Every structure is written in structure tokens, then in C-alpha cells.
Chain A
């Protein structure tokens, strides 16, 4: 314990636990029954709010609210990189959670989740950027998660907001990367979905839904080019269904792509850069 004593922050008591709530009255649990989405269709995603250019200090920035996720992202660069010489630009991406961003609280230093998340996001974003145009430079992308629900949603919203910020910074890209999440709940709920949701697939799952998922897939894609940049599948899904899930996630990503493109145009107009005249 004392080995990891943190002198750079105001010390907290060595041990503290998040509040434990009294159990729910058992009757209400029964009444609720197996939960099903009531607010939207199974293949409908939650509304997305996306805005670019809010962080004035950065070369490019974006802010996204998607379901229970709020992420701010800023891009610094391309900025000169110290030697050794590199023929390609390098991409550094760091995800950070605000301590209050999730339940329970994420204590700084004890939080191990951001690292793999940063690696995954880097992989999703890497194919979208023309790094060969930026020799001897680095592009630094920082994401701060202010509120989060499901981790898959953080990943997909993170990719969307990061490519918005990169585009806002005026960095050349092949296409805009967009994230999509799809989960399969078919057998876990004991066939609840039968009738209403024929194949038991859910787009953009909430945290409750994610915990009951049988399998889940996060797809990073460039809808404008029809290309997939990264796939992240967890759980147990057979091949045919996985392909079906990818297809559905990609077609859902097209809608997000429209929102992203719209946000970029609005951001450019606010900055006083008019629409590009048709050649």
C-alpha cells in the first residue's frame, strides 16, 4: 500500500468503499421482469451530440455525448518530434478517465483500464490518417472521459470523436473513422427477444444490456470508403452471426458518419471557413 503512496496528489484515506445500497424490495424485481428496450428499437442507436473546436488551446478538438458517455478530445500536432529521424509521422493516443467518470470512482494510479483502451483506439484510428505525409512529426491525441457507461460505448464514441478532432486539426485522412457497437443477447435472456427482435441483436447497448450480452462486437470503420479499420469481438458468437453483426454495425455507422460530417461542416463554418466551392 504505502509503496504506491502518491506525493503528487492530496492524500486520501488508505481504504474507502463506494456506498452500498439497501437491497431492492423483492416484489419490484419480479414486476420489472426481464428487461427489454422500451425507449428505442433494437437496431436504433441513442442520439449523438458532437461538436468540434471547443478546446481553443488545441490544434483540433471534439466533444461527444452519446448515450451515457461524454468524451472531450483534443489533437496537438503535427508537431516536430525530437530525433531520431522517422520517415513517417507517429501517432500518440492517450485515454484518461476523470475520477468521477464512472461508478465506482476511478482512483488515479489504480485504474488499469485506460491502457488497453488507448491501444485499441490507436489501432482503430491508425489506418484513417495519412501518416506518411508527416515525417519527423508526431500527432498527439488526448481523450478525457468525463462520464461513461458501457466500455464498448466509450470505445466507439472515442473513435468517432477522435477522428472528428483529427479532421478539425486539418490533418490529412483517408476517411473519417466511426465506431459502432452491436451485441448479441439471443440465448442469455432465454428467448425473450423472440417475436419482437427476431435475431436478438441490439445496437448501441446500454450498461445494463452489456452485462447480459452473450457476445459483443465493436467495429471501427470508414463508411465513406466502405472499409473496416478494427474489429473487437468478445464473447461467444458463431461465424455467420459475427458476419451479420459486422454488416449491421457498419450500416449503423453510416448514420454516425453523417452526424460526424455535419458537425465538421458546422465547426468549419463557425470558424469562418466557408463551404468548399464545387470544383
Chain B
């Protein structure tokens, strides 16, 4: 009770400054803060999400490629309000003794304190570590960047591709946006032609010749949350994510083969078999991936 009183009094100044329409909006904000899950379920009952889209629809996506000159390849993805920047940096290292014919790929996702009040400054938190691992699984297991294509001289020199994703604005579904950012940045990347000099033992890069990376399968990810075991919600926002005990992520390549499927949390949809839920999500993911792939082609 006391909490309710203090909460509404803190919002009061906004409400008192203006007329009826805005005070109704302020009342909605108060309701959203105090009873978030009722707030969401009322929207869903009407067939809409709190951000104005239909229950089964995705947010708009825009991609901006190559805007960071200090990186070998870069991309900025906006998915609704979620903004991700990916930069590719290539360095040279000696291949490890056990795999003399392979280079390295090092993908990392950073969710800095800048992007949302839920993150603290300092080393990567749980969520960032989880996403980094998923991204690593995705890029390595689906052979997006065949490691053998990164070799300069077997056993002597190979490329290390550092893929760093930084979140600028976190409004949910960071993983989908990050995967799209990584794939567009990898397509955008241009590396200098490198030659290994046996006599000096050094690798020298050309200033004029550049080449694109050899890409294998290009997976794109689609994420869902399940609300109150009834609604399958694609592309959840930051507000919705907190209310979704179950999340589902499916990544598909260009021939709609799965590269990664993750379900977190217990639960499914009441009255529907797990098979049906996955099937439904998969079908929606196929359509969404097709849309995203068009952005990838430009």
C-alpha cells in the first residue's frame, strides 16, 4: 500500500501539469509500472502489443553498413528502438599447433551500461556472456566463416577475425539484432591481401588489394517469448521481456535449415503440443528471415 502511494506521487507532477488527455496517459504509465503483466495482457486481448504493432508482428528493421572507418567492416542495425553496432577487426596471429590450417574467429557481444539502466558498468554481465556464447556457437557451428579460409601461410600466419558487437540502445531482442549486425558487417568487411615472407618471417599486407571474406551459410535469428503460457510473442521489447518466463530462439540459414534453436525456461503454450509451438515459430521465422535477408542483399 505504501509502495503504491509513493509510486503514484512520484508520477504526479507530470500528470498535474496538463489537461485530461495527458493525465490519462500518466495514469496508463502508473498502471504499466504497478501491474505490468495485466497491462500487457489487456493489450494482447485487443490483438495488439504495447508498442502498437499486431500481436504476431515484428518490429521494423533498418541497416546501415560501413559507417565506421576504423573497422575492416561495420554495420549498424536498428530493430525498433534496439540499436546494435558491429565492427570487424582483422589481426594476424600464428595458428595453434593443433590446427595449423585454421584461423580464428572471436565474436563478442557487449551490453554496456550506456544501453539500458538494467546493465551495470564493468565486465560483461550474465546476459552479455550468454549472447556471446550463442553467437560463438552460431558462427562456428554453422561455418559462417570457414576457419580454413583465414589461413595466410599454414602453420605460420593466419587471420584472427574479431567480431565485436556493441549495444547502443537496449529495447529487447538484442540477439536477433546482433546476429543481423554481424552478418551484414561480415558481408561488408574487406581485408587487405596478405603475404607471408619466409625469409623475414613476417606477414606483409598490400595497401591496394582488398578482398571480401569467404562466407558459408549465413544464419539469421528470430526470437520469441511466451506470455502466461498463452501467447507466442515474436520480437519482444525490453518491457515485455521481463514478463516472459519462456523464450525461444530459432536461427535459420538461406535454405531454411536450422543453425541454432534455444528454448529457455519451463513452459509452452497451453493446449498446444511443443511440436505445434515450434512449428508455428519456425513458420514465422522462415518469413521473417526472408525479409531480413533482403536487407542483407542490398
Interface size classification for chain B: 35 or more
Q: Once the chains bind, are A94 and B121 in contact (CB under 8 Å)?
A: yes
Interface residue A194 (Cβ < 8 Å from any Cβ of B): no
**Contact flags A84-121 to B (C-beta < 8 A → 1, else 0):** 00000000001010111111110010000000000000
At the interface, yes or no: A142 with Cβ under 8 Å from chain B? yes
**Cβ B203 vs Cβ A57 within 8 A:** no
- B93 interfacial contact with A, CB 8 Å: yes
CB proximity of A89 to chain B, nearest CB, Å: 17
Central interface residue in B67, B114, B166, B168, by most chain A CB within 10 Å: B114
**Chain B residues with CB under 8 A of A13:** 93-94, 96, 104, 160
Looking at B33-41, B84-92, B277-285, the stretch in contact with chain A turns out to be: B84-92
Give the contacts of A58-82 with B (CB-CB under 8 A).
Answer: 58, 68, 70, 72-74, 76, 79
From A92, which residue of chain B is reached at the shortest CB distance?
B121
Contact of A57 with B70 in the complex, beta carbons under 8 Å: no
Min C-beta distance of A28 to chain B, whole Å: 11
Chain B residue at minimal CB-CB distance from A105? B89
Smallest CB separation, B8 vs chain A (Å): 17
Say if the beta carbon of A148 comes within 8 Å of chain B.
yes
A18 at the binding interface (Cβ < 8 Å): yes
In the assembled complex, how far is the CB of residue A54 from the closest CB belonging to chain B, in whole angstroms?
A: 7
Of the residues A16, A100, A104, A147, contact of B93 by C-beta under 8 Å: A16
Number of A-B residue pairs, CB cutoff 8 Å, is 146
Beta-carbon contact of B91 and A18 below 8 Å:
yes
Give the docked Cα–Cα distance between A265 and B103 (Å). 50
A145-159 interface bits toward B, Cβ cutoff 8 Å, 1 = contact, 0 = none: 011100000000000
- The answer to whether B88 touches A100 (Cβ under 8 A) is yes
Q: B182: shortest Cβ distance to chain A, in Å?
A: 12
Q: Is the CB of B164 within 8 A of A20?
A: no
Are A22 and B206 also in contact (CB < 8 A) when A73-B114, A144-B166 are? Answer: yes
The answer to whether B114 and A142 have CB atoms under 8 Å apart is yes
CB neighbours of A18 from chain B (8 A)? 91-92
Q: Is the CB of A148 within 8 A of B121?
A: no
Stretch from A4-12, A35-43, A217-225, A232-240 at the B interface = A4-12
User: How many angstroms between the C-alpha atoms of A31 and B116 in the bound complex?
Assistant: 51
The answer on a CB contact under 8 Å between A22 and B123 is: no
Known: A57-B117, A147-B69. A105 touches B169 (CB 8 A): no
Query: Does A271 sit at the interface, judged by CB under 8 A?
Result: no
Q: For A24, list chain B residues within 8 Å (CB).
A: 207
For the complex, count residues of A whose C-beta is within 8 A of B.
46
| Inter-chain contact A10/B106, CB cutoff 8 Å | yes
- In the complex, chain B residues whose CB is within 8 Å of the CB of A6: 123
Contact B194 A19 (CB under 8 A): yes
Known A57-B115, A99-B164; contact A19-B91, beta-carbon cutoff 8 A? yes
The answer on a CB contact under 8 Å between A9 and B132 is yes
Tell me if B269 is interfacial: C-beta within 8 Å of chain A.
no
- Distance in Å: Cβ of B95 to nearest Cβ of chain A: 9
B96 touches A148 (CB 8 A): no
Task: Say how far A76's CB is from chain B's closest CB, in angstroms.
Answer: 5
| Complexed CA–CA distance, A98 and B83 (Å) | 14
A8 to B133, CA, bound (A): 10
Chain A residues within CB distance 8 Å of chain B: 6, 8-13, 15-22, 24, 54-58, 68, 70, 72-74, 76, 79, 94, 96, 98-105, 108, 140, 142-144, 146-148
Some 7 contacts from A to B, beta carbons below 8 A apart, are: A12-B160, A55-B115, A56-B81, A57-B115, A57-B117, A68-B69, A146-B87
